[in-house]
Amino acid sequence: MQPPTSGQLLVAPPGALPSPTLGAAGVDAAISSMLLATVRKLMRVATAEEVVGLLMDAVRDMGGSVTPIRSASALDIDLSFGMGGPLLPEADRPELLALLHDLLPPLVEDAKLSIERIESSPLGDSGGVTDPLTGLGNWTFTLRVLERMAPGDAVAIIEIENLKQINDHFSPATGDQVLLSFARTLRRVARAADSVGRVGGTEFVWLFRNATPAEAESALHRLRSTWEVERPQFVTFSAGVAPVTVSGPSEAYVYADGALENAKRIGTNETFVNH
């Protein structure tokens, strides 16, 4: 898979509340504009994963963050919609927590309606963002998610190994079943906050929100352990990981691709982390 160049992706800093120097009216207008933009995007998304990502972006834009841990600084508003573990909005300042408390519930209701629309749509993949074999997001979907990523996130590129031998010894249909099985395992192991996709014949991406490279590496170890139990044929994978920095998500993807090449140079069934 040819990695994107910096011109192919939007590179934006993480969202945050406007500076207080704008005044209360300026802050209110900025937040209203952000909420309106989020609602409009919710009307156009094609996957539930994108809905979760948009809510996480909204929390970040209001100065908060997302945690799986229930605490005094976290609201009891689960943004995961049952897709994996809980995702709770939190803030380290009382005024920001109050802001999230007031503004998130109606946005969550809009998000639920968006998910209901997606699940009940008779048009199938009307947005053209789904890989037809695995049902994961495709390259178009991956680009959409990458554009929203910011420092504090991480990118992993995964390549299935040994598949040619499976195709040659059995049949391409058997190879397709391996890919489908891997996609199911990947989707189940990934958190609701993350996005996963297939971007090439044997290449997958795992886009981590609010995760360090070490946390991404640990998640890949869990994926490998689970896959070794569930795989229908003896097929391994290698992976490369890179953090999203101020340079932007495009560069993170390029570095993750380079990390994958380093993993493959080491051998098979390897993970290499580019810090």
Range of the domain at 109: 6-120
65 and 184 co-located in one domain: no
Mean pLDDT, rounded, for 103-107 = 92
CA–CA separation, 266 and 195 (whole Å): 27
94 and 144 co-located in one domain: no
**Cβ–Cβ under 8 Å, residues 150 and 14:** yes
Total domains in the fold of the chain: 2
Query: Phi/psi class of residue 89: alpha, beta or left (left: φ > 0; alpha: ψ in -120 to 50)?
Result: beta
Cα Rg of the chain, angstroms: 19
Residue 160 inside a domain? The answer is: yes
Residue 188 inside a domain? The answer is: yes
Answer yes or no: pTM beyond 0.75: no
CA–CA separation, 149 and 235 (whole Å): 31
Residues 6+ apart with CB under 8 A from 2: none
pLDDT exceeds 50 at position 9: no
Residue 133 inside a domain? The answer is: no
Residues 12-27 have pLDDT tens digits of: 333 444 444 444 555 5
DSSP state of 7: G
Q: Residue 136 phi/psi, 5° resolution?
A: -80, 170
Query: What pLDDT does 46 receive?
Result: 76
- Residue type for position 13: P
165 and 246 co-located in one domain: yes
Residue 269 inside a domain? The answer is: yes
Q: Which of 5-19, 128-142, 224-238 has the lowest mean pLDDT?
A: 5-19
